């Protein structure tokens, strides 16, 4: 028995070793060439592993079909929540909103990398700061929140607010870069640059993949090693010096770097919030969920917590938290994250606490006839900018050239692009020649101009004004009677209509601490210009899941049996 056990162990170790070698030097099943083999060209094939793990702070959301826009109440009858059947791909999502402490880390990091004391960088740090004045009220004593909510440790684990869509989007880009930087440090590919005072901590994933010599002030000694390779040293060649960079540089094909973090699309956010997985009966959905949790009411049924609110919202005029001594929802402003039970996907506060920015440009309808697969409005297709010599163009930085800034309608100054990053440009008509899947770079207003894109496309019965009119389009001619001749004449008024709806208007979802119960329904949707911020809108990030939708086996679920 002992000999058999030892023999089994030896065979097991042998199989493990063989498996490891096979994963790094396996052969092409179609050509016979070996991957990662210097004797066969050293062609790259990364080791994908068994399954992609959720990034830190995220949970996996398995995709599928659902009805978007299906609400319990639609008191406005404004076409804003017309039901549409869509499919959403699997993705990872933050289990809770980004907190003050997490966003404050971003603020501190930005200040270190782009010191506001330097003239060229003086507007970068202020551009990432939340607008703490969103707490001020003309008839309210709330300045204490303006002074303390973002920075005081008492609110460290509360969701950050006062952040515009533009700022939330920039945070997601920064998070991608910092997570990749930390991954490279942890895996030993580069030194811990946070311990080296003389080197700037600026890191950009795209720049790292394109030309890593532009990072860390050009100090190549930061790079400790690359991806291990089987190197065949020729006769007479000296051995590499101790501590010298060995292996090859990391590429996207190695699967080491994380997928980018971004704001969720509206379809992804609503799909995750509804969590219809708990309403599934085999391959059907039973019932219609009014909230992120199952049930018709906002109060808990469990004996221990019976009567407590399941979310943080405004219950009536002056009713933000209930009576003294019996706070039914526990907070009169945004509450600490994870203070309420999660939904079926393990996501917290998808109804209540703070509303959340999503990536989409707002339009009244969701056009699933144009696309019903991973729907998103707001695509801007770009390509890397190349100069006349065929080299990548980088945004200006340092003392050599001034940073290019932009002034928003509210007067805030933001960098058009962070110094040192790769410049991109919209694709041209030549790039879209003979393509059937896209034809232009900016697809924010794709489909505008047809009847289905107009909210009140036929509101006026007059024969001269019945022509469909889109948002921000000139008004049609109006009929007036000439007081002298008594005849009807047409007056053409080409002034544009004023509206909040434009290609820079973004959707935000979910109810907040200051909203009534009506807005807790995940299908409800509102919008605001992307440069504006409030004290009730926060955000969370998502990341794309690669590979299979799910590694779990199918399981029947019939709650009625």
The pLDDT tens digits of the residues spanning 445-456 come to 887 755 544 555
Structure confidence by residue, pLDDT tens digits, 175-229: 999 999 999 999 999 999 999 888 888 999 999 999 999 999 889 889 988 887 7
Looking at residue 49, its pLDDT comes to: 57
Query: What are the residues whose beta carbons fall under 8 Å from the beta carbon of 163, sequence distance 6 or more?
Result: 103, 130, 131, 171, 357, 533, 537, 538, 539
Confidence of residue 501 (pLDDT cuts 50, 70, 90): confident
Share of the chain above pLDDT 90, in %: 57
Structure confidence by residue, pLDDT tens digits, 311-337: 999 999 999 988 887 767 889 999 999
Segment holding 146, helix H or strand E:
helix 143-148
* Helix-helix angle 100-113:165-186, to 10 degrees: 80
Looking at residue 544, its pLDDT comes to: 96
pLDDT (average), residues 353-357: 98
Contact status, residue 260 vs residue 536, Cβ threshold 8 Å: no
pLDDT (average), residues 526-552: 93
End-to-end, the C-alpha distance of the chain in Å comes to 48
In DSSP terms, 59 is beta-bridged to 93
On the question of pLDDT at 117 being above 90, the answer is: yes
Segment holding 108, helix H or strand E:
helix 100-113
When the pLDDT of each residue in the chain is averaged and rounded to a whole number, the result is: 85
Q: Rounded to whole angstroms, how far apart are CA atoms 430 and 28?
A: 36
Looking at residue 560, its pLDDT comes to: 52
Looking at residue 435, its pLDDT comes to: 93
Other CB atoms within 10 Å distance of the CB of residue 28: 12
Q: Rounded to whole angstroms, how far apart are CA atoms 251 and 229?
A: 13
Structure confidence by residue, pLDDT tens digits, 284-315: 888 788 999 998 899 988 888 888 889 999 99
For residue 104, give Cα distances in angstroms to 151, 159, 471, 513. Answer: 8, 11, 38, 22
Looking at residue 25, its pLDDT comes to: 54
DSSP state of 549: S
Confidence of residue 77 (pLDDT cuts 50, 70, 90): confident
Looking at residue 465, its pLDDT comes to: 44
Helix, strand, coil shares, percent, the chain, to 5:
25, 15, 60
On the question of pLDDT at 158 being above 90, the answer is: yes
Q: Which two tokens stand for residue 159?
A: 């969701």
pLDDT (average), residues 88-99: 98
pLDDT (average), residues 55-77: 89
According to DSSP, the β-strands at 413-415 and 261-262 are: unpaired
Confidence of residue 441 (pLDDT cuts 50, 70, 90): very high
Select from 471, 425, 463 the least CA-distant residue to 447. Answer: 471
Structure confidence by residue, pLDDT tens digits, 365-377: 888 999 999 999 9
Structure confidence by residue, pLDDT tens digits, 1-26: 556 555 555 555 545 544 444 444 58
DSSP 162-196: S--HHHHHHHHHHHHHHHHHHHHHHTTSB--GGG-
Confidence of residue 463 (pLDDT cuts 50, 70, 90): very low
Looking at residue 522, its pLDDT comes to: 95
Q: Rounded to whole angstroms, how far apart are CA atoms 491 and 479?
A: 6
């Amino acid at each position: 028995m002992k000999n058999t056990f030892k023999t089994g162990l030896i065979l097991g170790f042998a199989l493990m070793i063989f498996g490891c070698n096979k994963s790094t030097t396996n052969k092409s099943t179609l050509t016979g060439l070996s991957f990662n083999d210097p004797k066969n060209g050293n062609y790259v094939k990364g080791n994908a592993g068994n399954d992609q793990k959720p990034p830190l702070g995220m949970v996996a959301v398995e995709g599928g079909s659902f009805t978007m826009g299906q609400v319990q109440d639609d008191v406005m009858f404004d076409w804003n929540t017309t039901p549409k059947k869509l499919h959403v791909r699997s993705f990872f999502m933050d289990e809770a909103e980004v907190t003050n402490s997490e966003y404050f880390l971003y603020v501190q990091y930005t200040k270190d990398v782009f010191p506001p004391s330097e003239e060229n960088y003086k507007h970068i740090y202020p551009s990432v700061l939340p607008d703490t004045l969103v707490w001020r009220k003309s008839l309210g004593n709330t300045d204490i929140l303006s002074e303390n909510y973002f920075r005081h440790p008492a609110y460290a684990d509360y969701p950050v607010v006062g952040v515009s869509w533009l700022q939330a989007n920039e945070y997601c880009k920064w998070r991608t870069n910092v997570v990749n930087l930390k991954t490279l440090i942890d895996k030993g590919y580069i030194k811990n640059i946070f311990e080296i005072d003389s080197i700037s901590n600026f890191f950009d994933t795209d720049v790292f993949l394109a030309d890593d010599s532009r990072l860390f002030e050009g100090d190549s000694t930061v790079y400790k090693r690359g991806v291990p390779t089987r190197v065949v040293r020729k006769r007479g060649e000296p051995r590499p010096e101790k501590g010298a960079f060995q292996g090859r540089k990391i590429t996207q094909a190695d699967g080491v770097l994380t997928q980018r973090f971004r704001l969720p699309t509206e379809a992804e956010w609503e799909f995750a919030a509804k969590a219809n997985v708990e309403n599934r009966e085999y391959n059907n959905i039973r019932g219609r969920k009014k909230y992120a949790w199952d049930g018709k009411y906002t109060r808990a049924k469990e004996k221990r917590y019976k009567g407590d609110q399941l979310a943080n919202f405004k219950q009536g005029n002056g009713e933000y938290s209930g009576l003294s001594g019996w706070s039914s929802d526990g907070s009169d402003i945004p509450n600490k994250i994870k203070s309420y039970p999660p939904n079926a996907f393990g996501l917290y506060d998808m109804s209540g606490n703070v509303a959340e920015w999503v990536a989409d440009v707002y339009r009244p309808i969701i056009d699933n006839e144009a696309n019903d697969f991973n729907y998103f409005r707001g695509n801007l297709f770009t390509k890397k900018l190349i100069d006349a010599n065929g080299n990548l163009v980088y945004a200006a930085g340092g003392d050599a050239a001034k940073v290019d800034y932009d002034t928003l309608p509210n007067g805030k100054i933001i960098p058009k692009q962070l110094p040192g990053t790769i410049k991109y440009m919209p694709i041209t008509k030549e790039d879209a020649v003979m393509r059937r899947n896209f034809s232009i770079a900016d697809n924010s207003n794709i489909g505008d101009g047809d009847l289905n894109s107009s909210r009140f496309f036929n509101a006026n019965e007059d024969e001269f004004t019945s022509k469909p009119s889109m948002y921000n389009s000139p008004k049609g001619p109006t009929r007036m009677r000439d007081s002298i001749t008594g005849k009807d004449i047409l007056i053409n008024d080409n002034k544009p209509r004023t509206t909040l709806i434009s290609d820079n208007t973004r959707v935000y979802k979910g109810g907040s601490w200051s909203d009534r119960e009506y807005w807790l329904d995940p299908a409800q949707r509102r919008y605001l210009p992307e440069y504006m911020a409030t004290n009730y809108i926060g955000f969370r990030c998502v990341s794309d899941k690669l590979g299979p939708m799910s590694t779990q086996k199918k399981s029947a679920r019939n709650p009625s049996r």
